[in-house]
Structure 1
Amino acid sequence: MELNVTYITLDGYVDLEKYRALYFVIVCSAFVVIICSNSTIVCLIWIHKNLHEPMYFFIAALLLNSILFSSAFYPKILVDILSEKQVVTYSTCLFQWYIIYAIGGAEFWLLMFMALDRYLAICKPLQYPTIMTKSRVNVLLTVAWTVPALQVAILITAASQKKLCNFITRGIICNSTTYKLHCFPSAALKKFGLYVMVNLIFIPAICNCFTYIRIFIITKRRGLEVRKKAMRTCLPHLIVLFNYFCLGSFDVLLARFEGQFPKLGRFIMSLQLILYHPLFNPFIYGLKMKRISTHLQRIFCAVKHDERL
């Protein structure tokens, strides 16, 4: 029995015939670096007991998200680059749509819990060990992964019931612009999508800002040395939060004003969404977090020693 399969054409690539080899080398290299760098830090946190603290568990979860995200998108992108036609089944398109927002929402929630962890560690150091227990960290990690996943699942399930009249998307992956493939726009679906976006992005972002402002106000009263220590600890999280909020803004702009961007602009912004965050996160944490960078230096020193032998 032959099943009807709906295909969506991905019309987001620029001069693919001309730059096919270059695109493949860039994407393949980025994929290898992302998997290796993120996996290395996750393994370091898993192996070394002095990294078995709430902050490092949250970092490991954040980097694990980057591995899952990249594994869901990069192999398909590499196949598309090598193919004559860049198409995706509608079910795969819905899966990509789900992954990008389920993992994206989880990252915002993880960053919110990381900010809470830093607030308790810096501003309430005596109560910190009794509040941020291992069981509470496990609960927070579970909430960060399941709440976005369930909300986005409801959204995608509702969207999958809509009839398609357009079979060409202007991106290189499927995201919320998949709305525009539907024959008739659904006001209820758009309202629920807005609710999910506010719940998964804007509320955690506001909570993050409030928490870090509170940290800086409290540490300012405690002197220069305490403020410097707080800045060293919080800076990597703030960089990641800022980067991710910018990327989230790119995605919103692409979804809302896609037709107003030139094709090259859409392509560059799409590449930013899949490249920037998972590629630079491990370097930000590896270089800025002293304990992690110390373990990385030991690995590099051991490798250099073996090469000399």
Structure 2
Amino acid sequence: MNSLGHSLRVSLQGESHGPALVVVVDGLPAGLPVREEVFSADLARRRPQGDCATARQEPDVLHLLTGIHQGYTTGAPVTVSIENREANSADYQDIENFPRPGHADFVAQQKYGEYCDLRGGGVFSGRTTVGIVVAGTLAGMMLRGVRVEAKVESVGGRTDWAAYLHEVTAEGDSLGGIVTCEASGVPAGWGDPYFDSVESLLAHGLFAIPGVKGVEFGDGFAAASLRGSEYNDAIIDAGGQTATNHCGGVNGGISNGNQLRFRVVARPPASIRREQQSYSRRTGQVEPIRVQGRHDSCFVTRLPVVVEAMTKLVLGDLALRRMAELGGRKLFNEG
């Protein structure tokens, strides 16, 4: 499915080389000020920069189609389309017969048969994250008092990575990396045990970002080497503030009022200029392949704003659920 969320629901549509990508956000309250320029800063952060990024430079022309009247949300679903103007499909003519290593070409054909759109990666392309960024900008408008900030922690296992990335790019190869994200101002009480825990919902959204292969909350896997006396976060005041934050701001699936903290691992981009090997359906043999097209050698540098956007979408959904819980509690108590 291409939808996420309960009380705040986002749907993504479109392909990398189609005429446009479309995002629908349902559940936004009426009265939020929305103009095209409010998206500019976040879209600029997602746009490729530097000689290690893709040469595809999309202007990200937006069209606000529904749910906005005279510059404000109406309470109806908000629909935004983002044009694809710089697609070049000529580089993808043979991949149905010669699937690229590390890509979704093979599995897409297994699932959709001859009808799948493989140009530029289709629905599996990083281009689709522009819709996530647009939706996250909208969700962020309703998260008053909540601040979400993500940044690159490392690339290729290095914190001082700029020169190394240029070296690897020159060799025709690619690198993955790690992005850290922190959300402050999230009150205690958001989320539920089990399937709708804060971690479950965030992981669900974050793993939908193309190329994300791992998510850990708080100290994550490092917790396996700690004792309970080392890992437990001592509560130091009536508001639930803790002396440490090994758990990442969540206990029992529910936010505890401390900073929400997690890390996201992204794989190296699959499209590299170095020669690789793949199975050719045309010849029935494993043959050398050189991937064509315009690609990032490391998309981690563009990932923080996408991680922030997905986090805002999940937190916006949790905020509306919590409002419903508190309103229902007040209603039943009064009754």
Confirm or deny a common fold (TM above 0.5).
Answer: no
User: Counting helix residues as a fraction of each chain, which structure ranks higher?
Assistant: 1
Normalised by the shorter chain, which TM-score bucket? under 0.3
